[in-house]
Structure 1
Amino acid sequence: MVDERETETPRRELETTSPPGLAVNPQATSMLFVRLPAEIRNEIYSILFSSTRLTYGSRHPLRMNSSNIKPAPNALALIQTCRQAKEEIGDTWISQITLRFEDPETMLEKLTSLPPGAISNIRHLHILGYTLILSVPQGSVRFRLSKILKLLPGLCLDTITILSDRGTYFIYDTVTELLRDSCGWKELRYITRSSDVLGFAKSAYYQPVKKSEKYRYWRLPQPLYWQYVLKKRDGASSRPSVVMYRSRMSDSPGTVIDPKTRVYFRQKVPEGKEARKAFGIAEDKELMADGEKGKEIMIVARRGAGVDYEQKEGSPFTGIDIARHLLGKKWSQVRHECIDTFRREEDEVPAIHDDSEESITVDAYEDVDSYKWPPESPPTPSGPLFWG
């Protein structure tokens, strides 16, 4: 049951408030504040908030049956009910909790509405690896996460965890782009629903006909190639790393994040020039076999030592010309021009933002890193589709 008071007044979801005019209890008899030293109290606070997750967004992307996810009402109860604890804790809780977003649109709405400087305090973020689809007069532009993160200047995460089940080619390109171009994270964990991202056959899918011979989607031995991409970016002396893990069990969500149910995985580099040239042309029969394809993969990348990975204001934005007019604009402007305006023109009801009781689900979890794979994929936009 959702507390209806939650929707009475707009507020930033990550802020905490206390009723005005109440006398502060000095907590003179509290065991927490009187008998425990500050060091122990800080350790208690750290344990509490490091096991806290705040989740927002639409778990079912289709607008007609979407379910909006909200954090548990008592997720931040300590700093919402005890002023002395709130004064001691300050803003440190922001760097200890895990923020999870079910879609990139919600992530941008929440994080760009924070007070100046607050985004740089966030350290742990989970996001489903959907694209952000923006409508323009010429058609629709689909942006991957490497581009989306550029709209969040100041982002300086310790870890970003991305869950994706969108398709082999899409995932393969997305990981490469994240390692080559994206900022805002020190450690990237990219989790895929199956092993086919490392086993698909060579394809010219999505390539213009005149460039089809280049075969954009052609696998290379991993993580060797991704390690090369990151090393080229950060410098070999900084010792960046990319490793992979594979679940021991098929069709078992969450097993790849558990050290007991995963194995270190590395594709073998073929011996001989001709064998290396032929790598990735045919699908990997072992990875794509029944009982093997459904095993999750986790790619873990760590930026090099001493590398400045903060997302900078006005960082270079690569993409097609159709999106150039969006550069330099705030997310609120982009959404107004490329989402809200077109929804009104199409006479759609954006249920993804409906906060009625019937469409709200409270996030339930035992561990901040636990996850469930979504049952459906987002709808494909009509009209011409461009990649940004």
Structure 2
Amino acid sequence: MGFSAMDKSHRQYETPSRFLLLPPEIRLQVYRHLLSSTCLTHGQRPITRISTKHKLMKPAPNSLAILRSCRSINREIGSFWIGQVLFAFERVHDLLEKLSSVPRGVVEQIRHIRVGSQPILLLPPPDYRNKVLVKLVWALKLLPGLRLGTLTVLGDYGPEVAYITIDGLVNYGNEWRELRYITGDSRMLGFRRVQFYHQILYARKPQPSTWSRVMAERDGVDSGAAVAIYRSTQANTPGTVINPQNRQRFEQELQPGESVESFGVGEDPELMHEDNARKELLVIVRRGEHAKIIEDTTVPFHKDDIRQVFGVMTWPEIKERYDWQPSDSEDEVGSEEEQGLVEYDSYVDVNEYTIMPLD
């Protein structure tokens, strides 16, 4: 950005702006404060949880107005804004659509992302048999160079999917320093084990102890890697769990005679109770001090990694071969504009979020 050379560049021009006469260090603080309070929202948001209608979310028109204020400020900020603002995507599909179309150099500068957890269902062409479910942890690997400071994920697609989404990120995610995973209720840690015949489809383990052990194995016991779970103290009050004053630490422990294998076979009656279930959860996962967060493409892919199927194909190339289906029912492209279902994102705090409530 060259803030150290700002004064020299501005001496070439006479300007009545008092702001540009401030020391460059002060201007940098102003830019950082303004941009870190800016959220750029993209994608389709369902009207209700059971609705097939969506509204198209867009950033507020004045989100980056400072870049248009004058040429000197625009030149001074340069690409600095990319690493300061929060890029918010309603769905995994929206994230891939937006970021796969920009140069890798831009992706490498992004530091803060928020995204929904709904996987993408890829329907195969006639000569293929199997469908492909693109979970968030594998979708991120389709964006080479991504290295986030914070990744915020909204567990917005049912407790079982929410659990396996964060479990995948903890075990195999490499693109972030800190993960903040938020669910609109407590069911993610309370659902009963789901089996189909003798195959376990969804199972949970005591948390955060299990995830803590995983991070210690990945980054080292003394690396500073840590996992903490917080639960809102207020039911039916969206947005409260991000406020330290409205949450408390939460931990699950094995009961006498219980093993990890038998844990979660039945539902947790306290967490699944109608009143108690409606309390938000926040899971914070921090990588170790020296953890490498850029994806290592030299190691063999995990068996569930979608690159086992697609290899080095990009998201646009994958879409050419598969039909994507991000939800059970999807409106036709462009229908939001035609029906007037477009909303410009408005917020007071950049950390505000929307998760569809329980039915």
- TM-score normalised according to structure 1 size: 0.80
Q: CA deviation at 1:302?
A: 0.5
Q: CA deviation at 1:177?
A: 1.1
Q: C-alpha separation between the residues in 2 aligned to 1:203 and 1:109?
A: 32
Does residue 146 (structure 1) correspond to residue 133 (structure 2)? The answer is no
2:291 equivalent in structure 1:
307
Cα displacement string for residues 233-264 of structure 1 (whole angstroms, at most 9, x for unaligned residues): 12213131110000001121111111111111
Q: CA deviation at 1:94?
A: 0.7
| Aligned residue identity for 2:237 | S
Residue identity (%): 36
Does residue 284 (structure 1) correspond to residue 268 (structure 2)? The answer is yes
Show structure 2 runs of 5+ residues with no match: 1-11
Q: 1:325 to 1:155 in 2, by over 3 A?
A: same
Contact 1:242/1:300 (8 A) holds in 2:
yes
Aligned to 1:256, what secondary structure does the other structure show?
coil
Q: Within 5 Å, give how 1:285-364 maps onto structure 2.
A: 285-312=269-296, 316-319=300-303, 324-339=308-323, 350-351=332-333, 355-356=337-338, 358-364=340-346
Q: CA deviation at 1:139?
A: 4.8
- Which sits farther off after the overlay, 184-193 or 325-334? 325-334
Aligned to 2:194, what secondary structure does the other structure show?
coil
Does residue 126 (structure 1) correspond to residue 114 (structure 2)? The answer is yes
Q: CA deviation at 1:80?
A: 2.2
| Aligned residue identity for 2:163 | Y
2:177 equivalent in structure 1:
186
Cα displacement string for residues 33-74 of structure 1 (whole angstroms, at most 9, x for unaligned residues): 12x111111111011001000000001289962211110111
Contact 1:64/1:351 (8 A) holds in 2:
no
Q: CA deviation at 1:168?
A: 2.2
1:76 equivalent in structure 2:
64
Does residue 89 (structure 1) correspond to residue 77 (structure 2)? The answer is yes
Contact 1:125/1:157 (8 A) holds in 2:
yes
2:40 equivalent in structure 1:
54
Contact 2:205/2:264 (8 A) holds in 1:
yes
- Which sits farther off after the overlay, 216-225 or 252-261? 216-225
Residue of structure 2 aligned with 1:228, choices 206, 213, 232: 213
Contact 1:66/1:351 (8 A) holds in 2:
no
- TM-score normalised according to structure 2 size: 0.86
1:44 equivalent in structure 2:
30
Q: C-alpha separation between the residues in 1 aligned to 2:23 and 2:60?
A: 30
Aligned length: 340
Contact 1:153/1:312 (8 A) holds in 2:
no
Does residue 198 (structure 1) correspond to residue 195 (structure 2)? The answer is no
Q: CA deviation at 1:229?
A: 1.4
Residue of structure 2 aligned with 1:169, choices 148, 160, 168: 160
Q: 1:375 to 1:243 in 2, by over 3 A?
A: closer
1:113 equivalent in structure 2:
101
Q: 1:88 to 1:322 in 2, by over 3 A?
A: closer
Cα displacement string for residues 342-387 of structure 1 (whole angstroms, at most 9, x for unaligned residues): 99xxxx963368545813210011111101123699xxxxxxxxxx
Q: 1:367 to 1:318 in 2, by over 3 A?
A: same
Show structure 1 runs of 5+ residues with no match: 1-24, 378-388
Contact 1:150/1:315 (8 A) holds in 2:
no
Q: C-alpha separation between the residues in 2 aligned to 1:376 and 1:141?
A: 27
Contact 2:41/2:88 (8 A) holds in 1:
yes
Aligned to 2:231, what secondary structure does the other structure show?
strand
1:247 equivalent in structure 2:
232
Aligned to 2:218, what secondary structure does the other structure show?
helix
Q: C-alpha separation between the residues in 2 aligned to 1:27 and 1:48?
A: 25
Provide the alpha-carbon RMSD of the alignment: 2.8
Q: 1:302 to 1:335 in 2, by over 3 A?
A: same
Q: C-alpha separation between the residues in 2 aligned to 1:246 and 1:372?
A: 17
Contact 1:147/1:317 (8 A) holds in 2:
no
Aligned to 1:57, what secondary structure does the other structure show?
strand
